[in-house]
Chains A and B, each alone.
Chain A
């Protein structure tokens, strides 16, 4: 099996296990302990920032704060914050990057 398909199957099985976890045991378990909730609720901001920030501040393999991707990303962040709209953020972010790359 190729590396790609191995990743697809592994990621898929693990993700299904997480989705099914408490639903499978629905008649026995009904609550996540507070300490676990505390950890779980921090996962989205931490994991998403880990994915976004490097793409904006080091797009070409080294830290560079004066380049079009960071500028376009900050503008897109403003749009995302005001609208929470995926399509609009994509259009404005990619459009801004194309515009800034001209300078």
Chain B
């Protein structure tokens, strides 16, 4: 695909992504202020946003580190939250199979919930030029990436000037809450959430510390899978439901 057509596809992707920035920017501010609130410097805040580039897992890793968890535990918690990217990757692979390896790796780095949701629905309906798919994905991804980095930096620099009376640390569970509610989209998912939450509280009460997040999540997953098998006794089908508003 020639340069002009590639640029047109990137612009179309960015235009489709633009409305989603309304949810991305406040979340990015939180991703920047939270590391500052637990005593990290702005370089670390930006490091999380550039190297990890996945909002909920950034906040979770920072949470583990702030409670004296090890680097490995923080990474394990981040991986747990990002495992859904495996599903996104699998679901996008057939659509991008014809693209060059380099473009597929670029798309991988820029893969977030919004980008996935935007493209998988568009491509499933047969819309857009099949040859321009990677550029469309990359265009939307780059716009979101830029907004995310700027919002993180602004949050990290503003963090210290924000008044103490403002309970900004509460923004972290609230962001997870906005993602949790639409994720509870079936009875197995509801069981998964209830068991996951209860098991985390139980294991932390027993002294598991920040490892309780992984224990709780695994218990929730087991509960959800068992419920699905008991209720349906059939294999799920179709693409996964994307989460909304995740940076």
Can you list 30 A-B pairs with a CB-CB distance of less than 8 A? A4-B71, A7-B65, A7-B71, A7-B78, A19-B85, A19-B89, A21-B85, A21-B90, A26-B104, A29-B93, A31-B90, A32-B87, A32-B90, A42-B220, A44-B179, A45-B183, A45-B192, A45-B196, A48-B196, A51-B63, A52-B177, A54-B212, A55-B170, A63-B205, A73-B173, A77-B181, A84-B181, A86-B26, A93-B177, A97-B167
B124 smallest CB distance to A (angstroms): 14
B198 contacts chain A at the CB level, 8 A cutoff: yes
Give chain A residues whose Cβ lies under 8 Å from the Cβ of B91. Answer: 32
Q: Are B93 and A30 in contact (CB under 8 A)?
A: yes
A interface, CB within 8 angstroms of B: 3-12, 14-16, 18-27, 29-32, 34-35, 37-58, 63, 69, 72-73, 76-77, 80-81, 84-87, 89-90, 93-94, 97-98, 101
Query: What is the size category of the interface that chain B forms with chain A?
Result: 35 or more
Does more than half of chain B's interface fall in helix, strand or loop, or is it mixed?
Answer: helix
Give the most central of A4, A20, A50, A57: most B CB within 10 Å: A50
Residue pair A26, B173 in contact (C-beta under 8 Å) = no
- Judging by beta carbons under 8 Å apart, are B71 and A42 in contact? no
Q: Are A11 and B180 in contact (CB under 8 A)?
A: no
> Could you tell me the distance between the alpha carbons of A58 and B51 in the complex, rounded to whole angstroms?
32
Which residues from chain B contact A90 at a C-beta distance below 8 Å?
26, 30, 171, 174-175
Given the interface pairs A45-B220, A86-B26, A94-B170, the reply to whether A26 lies near B93 with Cβ below 8 Å is: yes
Given contact pairs A42-B189, A49-B216, A51-B56, enumerate 15 new A-B contacts (beta carbons under 8 Å): A4-B40, A4-B65, A14-B75, A15-B52, A21-B90, A22-B92, A23-B93, A26-B94, A37-B240, A41-B236, A47-B83, A77-B177, A85-B245, A93-B171, A98-B167
Q: Which residues of B are in contact with A by a Cβ distance under 8 Å?
A: 22-23, 26-27, 30, 40, 44, 47-48, 51-54, 56-57, 60-61, 63-65, 70-72, 74-75, 78-94, 96-97, 99, 101, 104-105, 107-109, 111, 165-168, 170-184, 188-190, 192-201, 204-205, 212-214, 216-221, 223-225, 228-229, 235-237, 240-241, 243-245
Tell me which residues across on chain A come within 8 A of B71, comparing CB atoms: 3-4, 6-7, 10
Contact call A8/B89, Cβ cutoff below 8 A: no
Q: Establish whether residues B60 and A51, one from each chain, have CB atoms under 8 Å apart when the complex forms.
A: yes
Nearest CB in chain A to that of B54: its residue: A15
